[in-house]
Chains A and B, each alone.
Chain A
């Protein structure tokens, strides 16, 4: 039980490494592969930490311990053309839900982002759909709608540059900005 969250975050880190194209150097952007260290806190300047290894993920059974502080992991990633929350990010989203439920005065902006492919205004709508999926998930977990706001940036604030799948994957994301 004690080790489980740690093991889980390793799984997250491993899957992110897969997602990042197994480059193994990890040195292209910031080495953390989670994007939030460079640009995940777009426009807020608050969400600057976010090392994947330090997410402090609360397993689903750890509800009693949850909510003391804002979870450190602030960015979740999406598959191409998808607004489905990937299973490896469910526990992270749950920990945000627990935090928000435990802190009714806390407020989060869900910043939706897409990769650069396709038209800008349609992507702006897709980014909103992506962040909206997270918003609905939080609401289902008991978070008050008044605590959550969605702002889509579409493809306007990329976390990574480059027309390759590695960059695309880092840019398809929703950032929790408190």
Chain B
């Protein structure tokens, strides 16, 4: 009823010049989202607690970047080091162990860094001219005593955080061969209070929990945020009319539309990979069933027809199939059917509670919530072998959402009785939490690549 929504657009951006790699020039407007509407003040930033490190992480030294302009508003090297550590692939050298702080490859004495058993190092410097910051950074292979990347990144305005995440992406991809996902964003739902006094919020923040922006606030529940494949819109469920309806909101313009208002449940929207259709769970014909809506025409096609609950649809990356949760066997299990309907194949057989599945970007793994001896945990099932392993070590895990590069899963969990976000690497080796300063946080949704 009282729902406010915000919009923003991104005049900021950054461009880069490559030296060591092929020259490149790019504008990343979507990265720098600036609040436009009053009330969309950042107030739900999340912090990071690493709860399980990866013993096999690659040691890397990210040396503090020299600044020719005095103190900068952001510590670029620290942001890069934090990104790399959070990925679980890297173990940054503590700054206290750095006995010298070179800012370019010419100043590096490799022998000293080999002694610290550092495999890679990142050095750089920041200069400012006009309203722009130029960041020159280099990625060095310590063992090979060679430069792997040398690049200058230009950040418009004071948008050093976007530039830092961009640098993290380049370093990550250069070393692992996997595209970095540090310049992506997450959407999540917050709540504060109890009962009638509960306030719900929908936010979007950087993947590291910083620079949060309010998208919607309401005194009725908000659920199930889902990014459109182009990263420009969110679908979600809002109870603002005291009934659940599915809405789609453009993050740039703030424009939004109520997409469904059927009797009963209007829930669990999931975009098709081409962005033209939304799968959803509706109970307008009785029990909750899976439907697909053609967004342009608003035509709705029913895909399942059972006496049980069917919900939590998600598309396979090729757009050919939909997976969903059904309790047709007596308890919730995950099934797969053609995106045009027809018979469904049961995918999960381990345990008696498997729900809310999401398929990895390569289509080979199913991430889900599994209830076993450790309660509700994020689990990963190999779709080839059918083998299921728990990858989180958390309290009441919910709502897994896979990073667009498939390396991490973000999910909701609890710390004490407070809802927080957690993330775990896809192999379960490293895990961290993103607590909010106040209130409960839940239902994270990882954006697609935005650049």
Contact = CB atoms under 8 A, between A and B. Distances in A.
Interface of A: 38-39, 41-45, 109, 116-122, 124-126, 128-129, 150-154, 156-163
A177 B268 CA distance: 25
B443 interface: yes
B194 A122 contact: no
Interface string B275-288: 00000010100011
Contact of A162 (B223, B281, B311, B417): B417
Contact of B224 (A44, A121, A160): A121
Interface of B: 194-196, 198, 220-221, 223-224, 239, 242-244, 264-265, 267-268, 281, 283, 287-288, 309, 311-312, 325, 327, 332, 353, 355-356, 369, 371, 376, 395-396, 398-399, 414, 417, 442-443
Contacts of B311: 121-122, 124-125
Contacts of A41: 196
Contacts of B325: 119, 121-122
A151 B221 CA distance: 12
Contacts of A128: 264-265, 283, 288
16 contacts: A39-B194, A42-B195, A116-B396, A118-B353, A118-B398, A119-B398, A121-B223, A121-B267, A125-B281, A125-B288, A126-B309, A150-B264, A152-B265, A156-B223, A161-B194, A163-B417
A131 B371 CA distance: 25
6 tightest CB-CB pairs across the interface, nearest first? A39-B195, A156-B221, A119-B356, A125-B309, A119-B355, A121-B268
B220 A43 contact: yes
A21 to B, nearest CB: 16
B142 to A, nearest CB: 45
Contact of B355 (A38, A116, A118): A118
A158 B267 CA distance: 19
A162 B417 CA distance: 6
Given A122-B356, A125-B288, A117 B265 contact: no
A138 B420 CA distance: 40
A39 B196 contact: yes
Contact of A156 (B239, B265, B395): B239
B351 to A, nearest CB: 13
Nearest to A43: B242
Given A125-B265, A151-B243, A156-B223, A118 B309 contact: no
A173 to B, nearest CB: 12
Nearest to A38: B195
Given A121-B356, A128-B265, 19 more contacts: A39-B195, A41-B196, A43-B239, A44-B242, A118-B332, A118-B371, A118-B398, A119-B325, A119-B332, A119-B398, A120-B223, A120-B398, A122-B311, A125-B265, A125-B309, A126-B309, A128-B288, A153-B239, A159-B195
A111 B309 CA distance: 18
A109 B264 CA distance: 12
B194 A158 contact: yes
B361 to A, nearest CB: 21
B198 A157 contact: yes
Given A119-B312, A119-B399, A120-B443, A157 B223 contact: no
A126 B243 CA distance: 16
Nearest to B357: A119
A117 B376 contact: yes
A41 B242 CA distance: 12
A68 B3 CA distance: 37
A62 B431 CA distance: 61
Nearest to B368: A119
A163 B194 contact: no
B419 to A, nearest CB: 9
Contacts of A157: 195, 198, 221
A159 B193 CA distance: 11
A122 B242 contact: no
A9 B192 CA distance: 34
Nearest to B443: A120
Contacts of A129: 287, 309
Nearest to B419: A116
Interface centre among A117, A124, A151, A159 (most CB of B within 10 A): A124
A124 B223 contact: yes
A45 B196 contact: yes
A163 B415 CA distance: 11
Contacts of B243: 151
Given A38-B194, A150-B264, A163-B396, A122 B224 contact: no
A163 B309 contact: no
A164 B311 CA distance: 27
A155 to B, nearest CB: 9
Contacts of A156: 221, 223, 239
A65 B312 CA distance: 46
Nearest to B310: A125
Contacts of B312: 119, 121-122
A129 B327 CA distance: 12
A153 B84 CA distance: 39
Contacts of B195: 38-39, 42, 157-159
A153 B332 CA distance: 19
A151 B263 CA distance: 9
Interface centre among A45, A118, A125, A150 (most CB of B within 10 A): A125
Contacts of A120: 223-224, 398-399, 442-443
A151 B395 CA distance: 29
Nearest to B356: A119
Given A122-B311, A125-B281, A153-B221, A117 B396 contact: yes
Given A128-B283, A156-B221, A118 B242 contact: no
A124 B417 contact: no
